[in-house]
């Protein structure tokens, strides 16, 4: 019998420069003759599905980025690019939502709106948003930018935005900021605007506190406060205050639990329906002082504090 020739594993051809992204079933651009998904696309797919726990870490206003992504219906923020605005682009604005859920829009005047509350193709929201932003900067005026799978080695928002730029959201009652002249909006945009306004929950950002948002619902109001502290330490501090009866924000208010979103913790208080955003400003500022004291404590939790912590943990909901 003839001997079998030893099997050798085919090597990927090496190309100078980057391998472009193509369809998973298309031939790999490297020339190997294999499909992209079985060749250079394998590493790209792994990078695309790897979940980044804190996608907004390192950006100015990380807590507000999380709030606008998950909690706030209608808000905008002017963004500052690290390399300045390109010619013909007078401004770049982050928006919670855009009409028809567009990822981005290049307006007729050349300005750019970047949508934050959109499904993303990878596990890194920052990279997906950066890819959308880059394409919006060069899109034809008057056109939306559609979503796509961002290159695995593409830039992130942290690479494009100025690290010293201020991040101060402007919360809106509705979505009229979508179009400069609503009367001349297309029927599709007008219908989308009407639906969005009908669904928007009244929301106010508290003054003097970072990422604390009051909202009004039919049965009761709420305060949802995105906090930057490490989760375990924050839960310990909240448990100390809760066990001591110092976790509320005034009569009839109650700390009811928290959300977990993009690597940060969001404590939530129930408020009586008559309590407005202005009413809760001072109590929230006073709570911030109590929380700072509790965060500074390294003492072991007492039995009552451990029970309080267990209750808070059981009422924690993960948003992302």
The answer on 124 and 83 residing in a single domain is yes
Q: Give the mean model confidence (pLDDT) for residues 153-160.
A: 96
Q: Annotate the chain with three-state secondary structure.
A: CCCCCCCCCCCCCCCCCCCCCCCCCCECCCCCCCEHHHCCHHHHHHHHHCCCCCCCCCCCCHHHHHHHHHCCCCEEEECCECCCCCCCCCCEEEECCCHHHCCEEECCCCCEEEECCCCCCCCCHHHHHHHHHHHHHHCCCCEEECCCCCCCCCCCHHHHECCCCCCCCEECCCCHHHCCCHHHCCHHHHHHHHHHHHHCCCEEECCCCCCEEEEECCCCEEEEECECCCHHHHHHHHHHHHHCCCCCCCCCCEEEEEEEECCEEEEEEEECCCCCHHHHHHHHHHHHHHHHHHHCCCCCCCHHHHHHHHHHHHCEEECC
pLDDT digits (tens, 9 = 90+) for 128-142: 999 999 999 999 999
CA dist list (Å): 166 to 81, 124, 161, 162 = 11, 23, 11, 9
Residue showing tokens 């009839």: 252
pLDDT at 278 over 80: yes
- pLDDT at position 179, please? 83
Statement: residue 57 has pLDDT above 80: yes
Query: Does residue 11 surpass a pLDDT of 50?
Result: no
Q: Are 75 and 191 within one domain? A: yes
Query: Do 160 and 46 reside in the same domain of the chain?
Result: no
Q: Which domain holds residue 237?
A: 204-318
Q: Are 69 and 178 contained in the same domain?
A: yes
pLDDT, tens digit, 9 for 90 and up, residues 72-113: 999 999 999 999 999 999 999 999 999 989 999 999 999 999
Residue 67: predicted pLDDT:
98
**Quick one: pLDDT at residue 19?**
65
Strand-pair partners of 216 = 221
Residue reference for tokens 């402007």 = 170
pLDDT at 163 over 90: yes
Q: Is residue 289 part of a domain?
A: yes
pLDDT tens digit string along 222-235?
A: 999 999 999 999 99
Structure tokens at 300: 């072991």
What is the pLDDT, as a whole number, of residue 8?
44
Stretch 119-148: mean pLDDT: 94
Do the domain assignments include residue 80?
A: yes
14-18, 66-70, 188-192, 302-306: least confidently modelled range: 14-18
The lowest-confidence range among 111-120, 132-141, 176-185, 274-283 is 176-185
20 pLDDT more than 50: yes
* Whole-structure pTM value: 0.84
At residue 35, the pLDDT reads 75
Q: Other C-beta atoms within 10 Å of 153: how many?
A: 12
Q: Per-residue pLDDT for 144 more than 80? A: yes
94 and 114 Cβ atoms separated by less than 8 Å:
yes
Q: Nearest Cα to 93, choosing from 146, 182, 168, 158? A: 168
**Whether residues 140 and 229 fall in one domain:** no
Phi, psi of 259 (to 5 degrees): -100, 155
Q: Identify whether residues 106 and 26 lie together within a single domain.
A: no
Q: Do both 215 and 247 map to the same domain?
A: yes
**Same domain (yes/no): 129, 83:** yes
| 9, part of any domain | no
Residue 146 sits in the same domain as residue 259: no
CA 38 to chain centre: 32
Q: What is the CATH number of the domain that holds 213?
A: 3.30.1460
Is 179 found in the same domain as 222?
A: no
Residue 4 has pLDDT above 70, yes or no: no
pLDDT at 36: 67
What per-residue confidence (pLDDT) applies to 1? Answer: 42
| Domain stop point among 151, 173, 199 | 199
């Amino acid at each position: 019998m003839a001997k079998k020739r030893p099997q050798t594993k085919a090597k990927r051809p090496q190309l100078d420069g980057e391998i472009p992204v193509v369809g998973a079933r298309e031939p790999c651009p490297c020339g190997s003759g294999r499909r992209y998904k079985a060749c250079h696309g394998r590493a790209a797919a792994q990078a695309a599905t790897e979940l980044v726990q804190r996608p907004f870490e390192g950006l100015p206003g990380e807590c507000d980025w999380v709030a606008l992504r998950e909690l706030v219906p209608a808000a905008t923020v002017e963004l500052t690019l690290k390399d300045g605005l390109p010619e013909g682009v007078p401004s770049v604005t982050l928006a919670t939502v855009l009409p028809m859920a567009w990822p981005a829009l290049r307006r007729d005047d050349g300005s750019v709106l970047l949508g934050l509350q959109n499904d993303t193709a990878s596990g890194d929201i920052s990279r997906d948003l950066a890819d959308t932003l880059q394409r919006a900067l060069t899109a034809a005026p008057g056109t939306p930018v559609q979503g796509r799978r961002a290159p695995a080695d593409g830039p992130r928002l942290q690479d494009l935005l100025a690290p010293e730029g201020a991040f101060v959201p402007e919360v809106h009652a509705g979505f009229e900021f979508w179009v400069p002249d609503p009367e001349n909006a297309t029927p599709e945009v007008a219908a989308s605007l009407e639906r969005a306004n009908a669904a928007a929950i009244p929301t106010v950002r508290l003054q003097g506190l970072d990422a604390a948002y009051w909202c009004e619902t039919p049965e009761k109001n709420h305060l949802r406060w995105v906090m930057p502290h490490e989760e375990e330490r924050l839960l310990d501090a909240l448990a100390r205050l809760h066990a001591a009866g110092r976790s509320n924000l005034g009569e009839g208010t109650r700390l009811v639990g928290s959300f977990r979103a993009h690597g940060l913790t969001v404590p939530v208080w129930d408020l009586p329906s008559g309590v407005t955003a202005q009413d809760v400003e001072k109590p929230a500022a006073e709570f911030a002082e109590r929380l700072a004291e509790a965060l500074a404590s390294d003492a072991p939790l007492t039995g009552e504090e451990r029970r309080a912590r267990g209750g808070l943990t059981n009422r924690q909901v993960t948003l992302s």
